[in-house]
Amino acid sequence: MTKFLYVYHGAGKMPANDAERKEIMEAWNGWFGKLGAAVVDGGNPVGMSKTVLPGGRIENNGGTNPTGGYSIIEAADIDQAAEKAKGCPILNAPNCSVEIAPIIQMM
C-alpha cells in the first residue's frame, strides 16, 4: 500500500459552540471509522498560513486556496485514494476540496 497526503482546502468556518464542535468531530470520526486501517495519521486542522514566493514576497491568509488541515491515508493507488476522499466531511462545506498526493519514500 502507498501512503497519500490529503490536504484539505477551503475556508470552512470554525465551530461556534460545543454542540457544533461535537457534530463536526462525529462526522470526521465516522469517516475515519469507515476508512479503518487505511488511516495512517488522522492529522489535524491548521491555522492561517503565509506563503513565501520567489523573490521573498510573502502572501498572507493562505492565498487563494488556503489549507485547512491534512491526513495521511493508505491506498493501493491514487485512484483508490481519490475514491476514499469522496466521503470526507469537508466536502459538505462550500468551496472546500481535498487535494491528494502520493508520499514518495526517499530512503
- Dihedral pair phi/psi, residue 95, rounded to 5°: 60, 30
Domain locations along the chain? 2-102
- The string of pLDDT tens digits covering residues 65-104 is 788 899 999 999 999 999 999 999 999 888 899 999 999 9
Whether 42 contacts 27, CB under 8 Å = no
Fold of 2-102: Alpha-Beta Plaits (3.30.70)
Residue partners of 72: CB distance under 8 A and separation at least 6: 3, 4, 5, 6, 39, 40, 41, 43, 103
pTM equals: 0.87
pLDDT score for 12: 60
pLDDT tens-place string over residues 44-69 = 988 888 888 899 998 887 777 788 89
Q: 64-87: string of b/e by CB count within 10 Å (b at 16+)?
A: eebbbbbbebbbeeeebbeebbee
Alpha-carbon 15 to chain mean position? 17
